[in-house]
Structure 1
Amino acid sequence: MKNGGIVRNDLTEDDKNCTNGIKWIQDAFGDCVDTDLKLLGFIIGFISLLLWLVPLFPQLLQNYKTKKCDGLSLYFLFFWLVGDTCNMLGAILTNQQPIQKIIGVYYIFQDLVLWGQYGYYTYLYKRGERRGTIVVPCIAIASLTSFCFLPNDASHGHFQAFPSSPHSRVIRSVDSLRDPSFENALQMWPIFESYTDVLGYVIGSIAALCYFGGRIPQLVKNYRRKSCEGLSLLMFYIIIAANMTYGISVLLACTGWLYFLRHLPWVAGSLGCCFFDFIMISQYYYYNRRQAAGTDHERLLESEHEE
């Protein structure tokens, strides 16, 4: 799941302004970092965020070198795009800070480039079409999307970034609406402080399911092909590292069971994605050894035949 990232520490009633926290972190990320433990959690979460900026690069490079995308499951790409789209919608609907909207656009941009590669190498490259006829339009679409989604002025809300599973990359608002009518309406949902929290939780859960469930079609495709050729192993290593650092940052920032429940979809999604990614890596090594053994056996038969 694309959901590493900055984990916001909830403020107490006595310190809503985070007077003892690090100001630039509070201003940029809406995160109150006022202890060494919280600072460590923030640093690890920030590392996770950086990792989620690059996992697709190895796969994009692999596709470019081999000039094919046969190893990728179309459903895997579809669920990945849906998850990132949910992140972007969450950033817009909950009026998050511009940096989160920019990151959301960047994720969708990467997805569109990967889809462009898939369409080009699968349907046009083999027919001798001019290179770039799909990739260039995808870049144009992604750029247009960024202009449509970016705000004209700065937004005011705090945020919580889980750049899923990553990728993980799920963006959830933690703004609190202090109107008593909202608080009364949410009495049946004690873990939420506002409708914004509920909205972010629902969107994050949908994205988590997409990142989690999208692994299954890829695993099935690998099993049917008896091969992981075309998949970048480095991509999955980066994704696992991003999800693991996210999980550590959540544990370091955890203040109680309510905090854990608020993060449950992303924690569960991260662990689930790591589980499937480890299976994916196991498939990769198993099928590679199997193919290598088959090649050695064929060479042995050829040498015996020549003798």
Structure 2
Amino acid sequence: MAAVRFPGKTVDVAAANWSAPAPPACVNGTRWILYLLEECVDNVWEYCSVVIGLISMFCFLLSTLPQVYEAYRNGKVEKAMSFGFLFFLFSGDLTNFAGCYLTNQLPIQVVTVVFYIFTDLILISQFLYYKIKNSSSRQSPVLKWLCFMWCGAATLVLLALPKLIIDSSPPLDTQSPNTSKVEISGYICGYLASIFYLSSRFPQLYKNFQRQSTEGTSYLLFALAMMGNGTYGLSVIAVLPALRGSKQTFILKHLAWLIGSLGVLILDFFVTAQFIMYRKNSSAKSSTLLPEVEPLLCEEEELTVL
């Protein structure tokens, strides 16, 4: 069974029209892939594609955690992060989730997308919490408790959501005439998610340019996203030599997700350039403070000698 992956985030394994039917017993298939992804992989190219795809998913799973820590340590996330970046990122993950649900994907895909939405909610909650906290003249304990209750309620809902969706989802009948409508809806979600992911970078690029600084944002957020998008594209290319069907049809069916992943990868290079450029600005600003401090230190040393 060939792998169809949502843009830049979900490792999405689905039955498609162009793929040849797998052997019923999958005698020569890799056991752990068959157990985890229910995919029969019996050659080295497909094996490499699946492994690289899992690496891509792992990079995206970890990508938002450094920014969560940076926001907690810095406490000024509303000045560093663009709300447009968080909004479009969250919208992209929601359309990914809709695609997984409409095409009746595997449990691992549903759980992964739910985790992405959960981390997005944490980032948005942090943004709103520090924006309200820093704009008020005094700290309110009610705001802190509301934030904890919101995160706790979201955690409980998102932990129960995958099981409820998996239990309520009917099995997908590949012979049904409605299957083509479901696939079309999945592709529409793929293009929408690509648009949202591409749109997410522009507000953050403008925010960094406006401030002439990247302070308060974690570069690991974008570095891991670059690794995830790069390995995703590589996983699609790796399966081409072992493809039994038409390569042109395969590329067309993956076009939406390739545009999203590779487009975001290119935009993240511009974000990387901003981190390099504005780091020099911050180091230059800190070096200008040294002449003001050094004479004071010298005078203190002379007084101690006397």
- Please indicate, yes or no, whether the TM-score normalized by the shorter chain is above 0.5: yes
Map of 2:43 onto structure 1 = 35
Map of 2:91 onto structure 1 = 82
Give the number of aligned pairs: 279
Instruction: Tell whether the 8 Å contact from 2:233 to 2:258 is kept in structure 1 after alignment.
Output: yes
Deviation at 1:132, TM superposition (A): 4.7
Question: Which residue of 112, 115, 119 maps to 1:103?
Answer: 112
Residue-by-residue CA offset, 1:212-245 (whole Å, 9 max, x unaligned): 1110000001101111111101111111111111
Change (3 A) 1:148 1:41: closer
Greater helix content: 2
CA distance in 2, matches of 1:292, 1:200: 47
Structure 2 length normalisation: TM-score? 0.80
Map of 1:238 onto structure 2 = 224
Map of 2:54 onto structure 1 = 46
Instruction: Tell whether the 8 Å contact from 1:208 to 1:269 is kept in structure 2 after alignment.
Output: yes
Change (3 A) 1:66 1:132: farther
SS of match in other structure, 1:265: helix
What are the residue-to-residue correspondences of 1:150-299 with 2, within 5 Å? 150-151=163-164, 153=167, 177-179=174-176, 194-254=180-240, 255=243, 256-299=247-290
Map of 2:302 onto structure 1 = none
Residue-by-residue CA offset, 1:236-273 (whole Å, 9 max, x unaligned): 11111111111110001133111111111111111111
CA distance in 1, matches of 2:22, 2:11: 24
Instruction: Tell whether the 8 Å contact from 1:113 to 1:139 is kept in structure 2 after alignment.
Output: no
Instruction: Tell whether the 8 Å contact from 1:176 to 1:194 is kept in structure 2 after alignment.
Output: no
CA distance in 1, matches of 2:146, 2:21: 58
Instruction: Tell whether the 8 Å contact from 2:12 to 2:100 is kept in structure 1 after alignment.
Output: no
SS of match in other structure, 1:248: helix
CA distance in 1, matches of 2:295, 2:263: 48
Instruction: Tell whether the 8 Å contact from 1:176 to 1:196 is kept in structure 2 after alignment.
Output: no
Instruction: Tell whether the 8 Å contact from 2:10 to 2:96 is kept in structure 1 after alignment.
Output: no
Residue-by-residue CA offset, 1:91-144 (whole Å, 9 max, x unaligned): 222222222222222111111111111111111255312235314313312422
Gaps of 5+ in 2: 1-6, 300-306
Amino acid at match of 1:275: I
Instruction: Tell whether the 8 Å contact from 2:63 to 2:222 is kept in structure 1 after alignment.
Output: yes
Amino acid at match of 1:143: L
Question: Which residue of 56, 76, 86 maps to 1:68?
Answer: 76
CA distance in 2, matches of 1:57, 1:284: 19
What percent identity do the matched residue pairs reach?
Answer: 31
Map of 2:122 onto structure 1 = 113
SS of match in other structure, 1:128: coil
Instruction: Tell whether the 8 Å contact from 2:95 to 2:189 is kept in structure 1 after alignment.
Output: yes
Instruction: Tell whether the 8 Å contact from 2:76 to 2:130 is kept in structure 1 after alignment.
Output: yes
Deviation at 1:23, TM superposition (A): 4.5
Map of 1:167 onto structure 2 = none
RMSD: 2.9
Structure 1 length normalisation: TM-score? 0.80
Instruction: Tell whether the 8 Å contact from 1:4 to 1:242 is kept in structure 2 after alignment.
Output: no
CA distance in 2, matches of 1:138, 1:8: 32
Instruction: Tell whether the 8 Å contact from 1:109 to 1:143 is kept in structure 2 after alignment.
Output: no
